[in-house]
Amino acid sequence: MSDNGNGLRLEGRKLVVTGGARGIGYAIARAATRAGAAVALIDLEQASVEEAATKLRSEVNGAEVVTEVCDVSSYEQVSGAERALEARWGRTDTLVNNAGIAHHAPAETMSVAEWDRMLQVNLSGVFYCSQVFGVPMIAAGSGAIVNIASMSGLIVNRPQPQVAYNVAKAGVIMLTKSLAAEWAPHGVRVNAVAPGYTRTDLIEHLVDTDMCRDYWIGGTPLGRMGSTDEIANSVLFLASDAASFVTGETLVVDGGYTLW
């Protein structure tokens, strides 16, 4: 996308965020609406995504928010969500692939079903959404995609065993590079954010544990976990025209964790 002088503003944009009902996804949606974008929240459950949309409208005055229920691991559901959104608001020009799951299991005892599910959601789902929403971007000659990877795609975390998660997130990083290279001639930028340990409701119960204190926070040079807003602000940069000459990059936002 060309530099239109708006910097980090997203006026006129139609941005889809998968896994947008909670946590990092919700923070991304909130940052995008505050920057002027119309936002579509995609998530698994009707009740939770509608609740998130209502909350977002109350937090950001004048926010344009629509919702779709979709399992990103289903190509058919992703295609259906894209068609529904196109009918409601036209072409999506910005996509944030945030939906994902986490699971800890030793490699020697992990079931095939656990392995397959992790890669289907965290890697195949990113490709499905990128292809389905990216084809119209290619046709239009512009677009921006930001994938949520993880520092786990670059290192092996301690102490939890999570081989499938690590592999999937490494795949997201390479998928980002590959799509960026293929789609740059069509005016579509593809980047990623690789968060470190981020404080969300889903891991709040672990914050006071020895594992969190000794490994997660203790292993982070800045001495704390990140906030969802800090991840969202990084996504906002890559999605905006402030990053108009940036593609194929993975921005690591981990408080320095991968330095050691």
Q: Which residues are catalytic?
A: 165
CA dihedral 74, 75, 77, 78 (to 10 degrees): 120
Helices (H), the chain: 23-34, 46-59, 75-89, 112-119, 125-140, 163-183, 210-211, 228-239
Would you call 72 helix, strand, or coil by DSSP? coil
What sign does the dihedral 70-76-82-87 (CA atoms) show? negative
DSSP letters along 123-179, please?
IIHHHHHHHHHHHHHHHHT-EEEEEE--GGGTS--SSS-BHHHHHHHHHHHHHHHHH
Between the CA of residue 99 and those of 11, 74, 211, 256, what are the distances in Å? 24, 13, 25, 24
State the burial class of residue 53 (Cβ atoms within 10 Å of its Cβ: 0-12, 13-18, 19+).
buried
Cis amide leading into 136 (omega within 30): no
Residue with tokens 């981990």: 254
**d(Cα 78, Cα 84) in Å, to the nearest integer?**
10
Inter-residue contact 93 to 144 (CB < 8 Å): yes
DSSP secondary-structure letter at 189?
E
